[in-house]
Structure 1
């Protein structure tokens, strides 16, 4: 096997297909997050419900993580991902139809169902890890995130190109385009050849009980790091545009800041896997969390544009290192027969936190303010860093005993 590739040729083929499917599937969140509030404002008679579609999308994602993992175990990843892509396309068409019919309820239903597709897309990183050799899992996960970089550009461009494509029904064209992207992913997914885990295929056991896995030192620290890194990133990213507009900056300026943030989230993926192989996933996760804390320190330094944009860029890079590192740590915690339940619990906790963050970020910004939000993150990061230090010492003692 080539040392510079994360797997054998058939596995590299799967990885390339997953990267392409990720680029198409991960374009969905920017479309929904960009337009969900605007469409909600247009369709809802109650202004306070305008952002409900975005929150319901995040909730649908969180609630779909466990069914997605167990469907993949039961029917295989390829069949589950095909079902996810089909649900993604149909949910986007339902959302578009709701705009035509001026129905807020059906629009909310459409974006909630899109959460199942998003849960499938999020699990592509585990599919990549499961098909790679153990020493190359981190690089495989990192390469999958490169698809997110493409999606970060593709999603907003779809909004720009198609939001006025049907002048009588603004934004409906964007959701039709979202359905097209989901349909385009289907032939890529159909070409996947991901074998069932040997332990799962030849035994009738499901491995160790989840509580036993949770008692191992690495698993709770890995999950905590993933929850905190994604939760804080989502919380700050949601609040930042509102804070910028509140400080007198234009909506376009705020949107450009978010674009730089999203590019920073996925840009380092070209080399994050190599850094994990060099320094270890626990160390890189800790460094990513330090960068997230540094983004908060920079935000507390002032309200100039450089403070906002600089903190968002640091936040993006910190998320990349900490979340990919935490995902790599999770893959160290299970045997093949245990992967479905471990991945399901991890993603449910991570994206459940993201859903909660999307519900409460606006409220906390209005009640506590931008500076308070960035101050609150510091002790949270400190707790995770202390947990990682404890893990490093524990594993060092176990290795020498």
Structure 2
């Protein structure tokens, strides 16, 4: 009977993974629209002083960071399906508010609209965790990998939406694309409503009802495995944000065209999410730690290419390696994190993880603009080396402690 229950549960997990992938592809495409047009629209709305033009993009990042923990805790109370449905609402409202702000010529309303879009992005971060809520270990890992692959499609849907809808509400610039973003939010909401909440395994049911939230976060966060997982996730995401944000500016500064920069970012996004179709299988075969190490090695290779030249090929290869490194490092670290918490603790642990990861990415993004105008592109790539070394040291420390503990038990 237990075997039958496991088979049925795995079947439901696989079905949910397909729904989550589709919802991720649609809902996650809204943020690239905001990032692509946020600075341009800010520049358009401001008067003579253009120094705050990128503030709307910053607002979206802050909105995501501040909402990560509330989003995770809300889902732990009302379930994944209702949580994702509610999570699509800020994107819809944000898109409509952006249209209104552009029609009214209000910069601060536009900033508020992208803050709402960012809030919805925090719920999108929960897709990968929803894939590993239940099921056998192999099925959970492959499900998470499939869900992450939805991000590859969002990288195509978002930019193409900008291209095909920017003139919808002409002559008001950019308004048509944000109306399309609101429509995408509605579609994503409908897809998310198809999700089925997977009941916890019977062995865990009583514990979920009686555990009163599990261990304190301070206890969980002191685990070496937790520290290594979060640090590797932060490193992967922050380095990706740092180098990716600076790359287009560096390319333009080196005499390349905006089209060259746009194509470089497109290949980067495809490299970020494309490997997700098989990353889960690689984790099952080689283990989480080795995949994270491979991701860190790819980040180092990315930095080496970035330092050695400033031709178009150097920039594009740098961005592609950056995408691969982020994929292996971030997905591997997410799988590692799942080992550190009990089912009743998942909401607060996942929320804390995403808050730290997105907070570090926002900081890296802000620093990127200052560094590219100061020390420059080569210095930005040099930052990769010490950060990777710190992550690998934490991973080795965690591995050594686990191995020592295993010997003591034996």
TM-score normalised per structure 2: 0.94
Alignment of 1:193 onto 2:200: no
Q: 1:196: Cα distance to partner?
A: 5.3
| Cα displacement (A) at 1:76 | 1.6
Whole-Å Cα distance in 1 between the matches of residues 199 and 108 of structure 2? 40
Residue 79 (structure 1) aligns with: 82
Q: Which runs of 5+ in 2 are unaligned?
A: none
Against the structure 1 CA distance between its residues 309 and 322, is the aligned structure 2 distance closer, same or farther, given a 3 Å change threshold? same
Note the alpha carbon deviations across 1:295-318, whole angstroms, 9 max, x for none: 001100111111100010000000
2:400 is aligned with 1:393: yes
- 2:17–2:144 contact (8 Å) kept in structure 1: no
Partner of 1:224: 231
Partner of 1:100: 103
- SS of 2:132's equivalent in the other structure is helix
CA contact (8 A) 1:272 1:321 kept: yes
The correspondence for 2:30, drawn from 21, 28, 31, is: 28
Go from structure 1 to structure 2 and tell me whether the alpha carbon gap of 1:199 and 1:326 turns closer, same or farther (over 3 Å shift): farther
Give the structure 2 partner of residue 210 of structure 1: 217
Separation in 2 of the partners of 1:196 and 1:41?
A: 48
The answer to whether the Cα contact below 8 Å between 2:84 and 2:192 also exists between their aligned partners in 1 is yes
Match of 1:325 in 2: 332
- Unmatched runs of 5 consecutive residues or more in structure 1: none
Match among 28, 37, 40 for residue 38 of structure 1: 40
Work out the CA distance in 2 between the residues paired with 1:122 and 1:289. 22
Structure 1 CA distance for aligned equivalents of residues 210 and 239 of structure 2: 40
The Cα shift of 1:272 comes to 0.3
Tell which deviates more after alignment, 70-79 or 269-278. Answer: 70-79
What aligned pairs does 1:340-359 form with structure 2 within 5 A after superposition? 340-359=347-366
Match of 2:17 among 15, 30, 45: 15
Deviates more, 1:137-146 or 1:316-325: 137-146
CA contact (8 A) 1:131 1:194 kept: no
1:90 aligned onto 2:97: no
Q: Deviations over 1:62-118 (max 9, x none)?
A: 111011011111222211211111221111110111111111000000000111210
Aligned residue pairs: how many? 399
Give CA deviations for 1:175-194 in whole Å, capped at 9, x if unaligned: 01011111011222112111
Question: Within 2, Cα distance between the matches of 1:19 and 1:200?
Answer: 30
The corresponding residue for 2:122 is 119
**Structure 1 residue 133, shift from structure 2 partner:** 2.3
Instruction: Give, in whole Å, the separation in 1 of the partners of 2:123 and 2:404.
Output: 38
* SS in structure 2 at match of 1:10: helix
- Cα deviation digits, residues 345-393 of structure 1 (max 9, x gap): 1000000111112222101111110001101221111111111122222
> RMSD between aligned alpha carbons?
1.6
Is the 8 Å Cα contact of residues 58 and 358 (structure 1) preserved in structure 2? no
Secondary structure, in 3 states, of the residue corresponding to 1:306?
Answer: helix
Determine if contact 1:6/1:137 at 8 Å carries over to the other structure: no
Written as runs of structure 1 = structure 2, the 5 A alignment for 1:1-400 is 8-45=10-47, 46-195=49-198, 197=200, 198=205, 201-400=208-407
Deviation string for 1:316-336 (max 9, x for gaps)? 000000000000011111100
Q: 1:332 to 1:6 in 2, by over 3 A?
A: farther
Provide the secondary structure at the position in 1 that maps to 2:105.
Answer: coil
**CA distance in 2: counterparts of 1:393 and 1:6, whole angstroms:** 37
DSSP-derived class of the 1:359 partner? helix
TM-score scaled by length of structure 1? 0.96
Task: Please give the secondary structure, in 1, of the residue aligned with 2:385.
Answer: helix
Alpha carbons 1:53, 1:111 under 8 Å: kept: yes
Is the contact made by 1:43 and 1:103 (CA closer than 8 Å) also made in structure 2? yes
What SS does the aligned partner of 1:48 have?
A: coil
In structure 2, how many angstroms separate the alpha carbons of the residues matched to 1:271 and 1:29?
25
CA distance in 2, matches of 1:196, 1:110: 36
For residues 325 and 63 of structure 1, the distance between their equivalents in structure 2, rounded to whole angstroms, comes to 24
